[in-house]
């Protein structure tokens, strides 16, 4: 499912126009990004938690030359699925 298909599904489920559904989705995503970028987490009970994480500097290998290279430390995003989400995935 891509963003357009998700907007269509939200519009249908919530009896909204596609424009209103798209604005709501973009607002949600914008707030998640801003909150995680500020160092806080976003917890949606039953769905999951978005949080910032840190990846340490590490050594890698240039596949073309075989030379060792240093890969810089970076911030990353972590997502931990909630119990209800996991349970839905693991239904038999």
- Looking at the structure, give the CATH architecture of the domain made up of residues 41-92: Irregular (4.10)
CB-count burial class (<10 Å; 0-12, 13-18, 19+) for 91: exposed
pLDDT of residue 35: 97
Whether the CB-CB separation of 55 and 28 falls below 8 Å is answered with: no
Query: What does the pLDDT read at residue 66?
Result: 92
- Cα(21)–Cα(10) distance, integer angstroms: 6
Binning pLDDT at 50, 70 and 90, where does residue 17 land?
very high
Cβ(57)–Cβ(72) below 8 Å: yes
User: What is the sign of the dihedral through the CA atoms of 28, 30, 24 and 13?
Assistant: negative
Given a cut of 90, whether residue 92 has pLDDT beyond it is no
Would you kindly state where each structural domain of the chain is located, as residue ranges?
1-39, 41-92
Tell me the pLDDT tens digit for each residue of 26-49.
999 999 999 999 999 999 999 999
């Amino acid at each position: 499912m891509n963003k357009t298909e998700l907007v269509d599904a939200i519009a249908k489920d919530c009896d909204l126009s596609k424009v209103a559904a798209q604005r709501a989705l973009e607002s949600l995503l914008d707030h998640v990004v801003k909150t995680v970028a500020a160092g806080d987490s976003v917890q949606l009970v039953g769905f999951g938690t978005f949080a910032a994480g840190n990846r340490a500097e590490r050594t890698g290998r240039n596949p073309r030359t075989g030379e060792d290279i240093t890969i810089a430390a970076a911030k990353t995003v972590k997502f931990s699925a909630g119990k209800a989400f996991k349970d839905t995935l693991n239904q038999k």
